């Protein structure tokens, strides 16, 4: 880094912010909120030195006052020029711009190399899912055969809704727009072009070969019908818009299209606006990463992670520990299995004891087994100490035949 950039000085770490829309605005807020914690961890406080939008800020002035530039404008022009000029001036760059990288990646990587600066782009593929970091760092030495991805949240949401509710494509798209998962103009998403750009970037990293967006064949979801999805469900299949980058013979193929998956596939259960990337390599078998694929705060979090990585060499040790209270009595939802005598009043007595300890029953299944009966219940979340106290009392009831069995239930669904 050039000394004029100010890197290495003890003062604030100045971030020039290009774009202040969905992601840029969320990034600005997140950076302000986390600045103190970042300073405590890495020794310098990041601060936004200037903001460029169509109506405010001057690029040259912001560049002059920045140690690092974050590009969140989108599109190729003028983003490409700003990124190149930032790197030529010795500034590290962080971007979330898949269109730019999938069309001008090699030029930008060469420029970063030539100027000795970092170009980080975790947020350009699959939002906050750390696919880029894992491929660049964790799997740096792995020979990758294939990458499959659900890398567009809008289309995954539409297909999931069609499967869940039986809605048509048009109805599910309208709902995605109402909920903010799809833009007013959803063309790039539903035609598969957005996913194609992301797969070009993943292919570049997986195979270390230049892959341009134009070399990715893609097909969207506009022609998918409710019938396709319903028949597939009867066959145990789910429909996803899948991006694939794979080695074929001595070459590589990169494509995006709707595809049916059998239920055992790691991507089959990725629903709603979630994204996921599966990386296959003989050495590691397979890794699947999943999480929110878009959204201002989520994407901003990946952008800020890149900024911190550019501020300091990535830490190999965790930051110094700070003492915290260790909580031992935790709320859980519990499954309780009781073998009891089959006679009237048993369930009422069990329920009463649970109620007195503040444990509320969510669901009960009762099954007669001749003289005996089986009571299986799931509770609403309750402190473990209260639940254990209730179970202790229940186990002493004369009609309880065996030691009660208790298993925790994780209630969240994603
Ligand atoms: N939204 C997401 O969930 C998401 C997820 C992953 C990656 N991304 C990527 O993140 C980037 C930003 O997306 P976004 O959703 O935040 O876009 P956005 O809401 O449309 O915001 C774009 C910002 O860039 C500014 N801008 C546009 N053209 C400009 C120009 N010629 N000169 C200066 N400023 C200009 C706009 O200025 P005005 O305010 O004046 O209009 C606006 O502040 C894109 O590369 C996108 O692909 C977005």
Q: In this structure, are residues 406 and 377 in contact, taking their beta carbons and an 8 Å threshold? A: no
Q: Taking 90 as the threshold, does the pLDDT of residue 369 lie above it?
A: no
Is 198 an annotated catalytic residue? yes
Q: Taking 70 as the threshold, does the pLDDT of residue 7 lie above it?
A: no
Q: Taking 80 as the threshold, does the pLDDT of residue 412 lie above it?
A: no
Rounded Cα gap, residues 329 and 325, in angstroms? 12
Q: Taking 50 as the threshold, does the pLDDT of residue 6 lie above it?
A: no
- Calculate how far, in angstroms, residue 374's C-alpha sits from the geometric centre of ligand 1: 59
What per-residue confidence (pLDDT) applies to 1? 41
Task: Give the binding-site residues of ligand 1, using a 6 Å CB cut-off.
Answer: 19-24, 52-55, 72-74, 78, 96-98, 123, 127, 294-295, 299
- Calculate how far, in angstroms, residue 86's C-alpha sits from the geometric centre of ligand 1: 18
**Distance of CA 317 to CAs 122, 313, 321, Å?**
21, 11, 11
Whole-model pTM?
A: 0.86
What per-residue confidence (pLDDT) applies to 413? 59
- Calculate how far, in angstroms, residue 219's C-alpha sits from the geometric centre of ligand 1: 25
The overall average pLDDT reported for the chain is 93
Pull the structure tokens for residue 4. 């004029």
**Distance of CA 187 to CAs 183, 260, 404, Å?**
9, 22, 57
pLDDT tens-digit map of 113-171:
999 999 999 999 998 999 999 999 999 999 999 999 999 999 999 999 999 999 999 99
**What angle, 0 to 180 degrees and rounded to 10, lies between the N-to-C axes of helices 153-165 and 169-178?**
120
Q: In this structure, are residues 330 and 405 in contact, taking their beta carbons and an 8 Å threshold? A: no
Nearest alpha carbon, ligand 1 atom 20: 21
pLDDT tens-digit map of 306-324:
999 999 876 566 666 778 8
Give the CA angle between residues 17, 18, 23 to the nearest 5°. 80
- Calculate how far, in angstroms, residue 63's C-alpha sits from the geometric centre of ligand 1: 18
Q: What is the DSSP string of 314-356?
A: PPSSPPPP---PPP-S-EEEEEEEEEEE--TTHHHHHHHHHHH
Phi, psi of 79 (to 5 degrees): -55, -45
Q: Taking 90 as the threshold, does the pLDDT of residue 184 lie above it?
A: no
Which of 16, 20, 21 to mutate for ligand 1's pocket (most ligand atoms within 8 Å of CB)? Answer: 21
What per-residue confidence (pLDDT) applies to 312? 84
What per-residue confidence (pLDDT) applies to 314? 61
What per-residue confidence (pLDDT) applies to 5? 42
Q: What is the mean pLDDT of residues 244-268?
A: 93
What per-residue confidence (pLDDT) applies to 254? 96
pLDDT tens-digit map of 41-90:
889 999 999 999 999 999 999 999 999 999 999 999 999 999 999 999 99
Ligand 1 atom nearest to CA at 24: 16
Q: Taking 90 as the threshold, does the pLDDT of residue 293 lie above it?
A: no
Rounded Cα gap, residues 341 and 353, in angstroms? 17
What per-residue confidence (pLDDT) applies to 222? 94
Higher pLDDT: 1 or 279? It is 279
Residue 36 burial (CB < 10 Å; 0-12/13-18/19+)?
exposed
- Kindly name the residue from 198, 240, 367, 386 that is annotated as catalytic: 198
Nearest to 21 by CA among 63, 59, 73: 73
Helical residues (DSSP H) of 166-192, grouped into ranges: 169-178, 187-190
What per-residue confidence (pLDDT) applies to 411? 73
Given pLDDT bands bounded at 50, 70 and 90, which one contains residue 93?
Answer: very high
């Amino acid at each position: 880094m050039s000394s004029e950039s100010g890197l290495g000085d003890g003062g604030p770490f100045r971030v020039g912010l290009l774009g202040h829309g969905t992601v840029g605005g969320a990034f600005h807020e997140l950076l302000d909120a986390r600045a103190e914690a970042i300073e405590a961890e890495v020794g310098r406080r990041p601060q936004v030195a200037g903001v460029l939008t169509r109506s405010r800020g001057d690029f040259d002035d912001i560049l002059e006052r920045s140690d690092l530039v974050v590009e969140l404008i989108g599109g190729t022009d003028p983003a490409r020029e700003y990124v190149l000029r930032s790197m030529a001036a010795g500034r590290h760059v962080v971007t979330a711009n898949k269109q730019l990288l999938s069309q001008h990646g090699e030029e930008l990587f060469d420029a970063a190399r030539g100027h000795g600066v970092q170009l980080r782009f975790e947020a350009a593929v699959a939002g906050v899912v750390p696919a880029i970091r894992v491929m660049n760092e964790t799997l740096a030495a792995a020979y990758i055969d294939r990458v499959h991805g659900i890398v567009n949240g809008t289309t995954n949401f539409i297909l999931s809704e069609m499967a869940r509710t039986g809605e048509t494509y048009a109805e599910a798209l309208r709902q995605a727009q109402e909920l903010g998962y799809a833009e007013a103009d959803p063309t790039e998403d539903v035609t598969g072009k957005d996913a194609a750009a992301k797969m070009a970037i993943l292919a570049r990293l997986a195979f270390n070969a230049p892959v341009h967006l134009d070399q990715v064949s893609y097909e969207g979801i506009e022609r998918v019908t409710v019938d396709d999805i319903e028949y597939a469900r009867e066959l145990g299949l789910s429909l996803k818009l899948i991006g694939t980058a794979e080695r074929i013979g001595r070459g590589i193929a990169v494509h995006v299209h709707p595809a049916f998956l059998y239920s055992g596939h790691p991507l089959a259960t990725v629903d709603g606006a979630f994204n996921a990337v599966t990386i296959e390599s003989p050495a590691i078998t397979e890794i699947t990463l999943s999480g929110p694929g878009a959204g201002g705060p989520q994407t901003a979090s990946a952008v800020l992670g890149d900024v911190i990585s550019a501020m300091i060499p990535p830490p190999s040790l965790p930051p110094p520990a700070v003492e915290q209270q260790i909580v031992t009595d935790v709320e859980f939802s519990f499954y309780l299995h009781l073998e009891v005598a089959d006679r009237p009043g048993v369930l009422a007595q069990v329920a009463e004891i649970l109620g007195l300890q503040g444990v509320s029953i969510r669901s009960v299944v009762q099954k007669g087994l001749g003289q005996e009966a089986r009571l299986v219940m799931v509770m609403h979340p309750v402190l473990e100490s209260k639940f254990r106290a209730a179970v202790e009392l229940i186990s002493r009831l004369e009609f309880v035949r065996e030691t009660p069995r208790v298993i925790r239930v994780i209630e969240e669904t994603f």
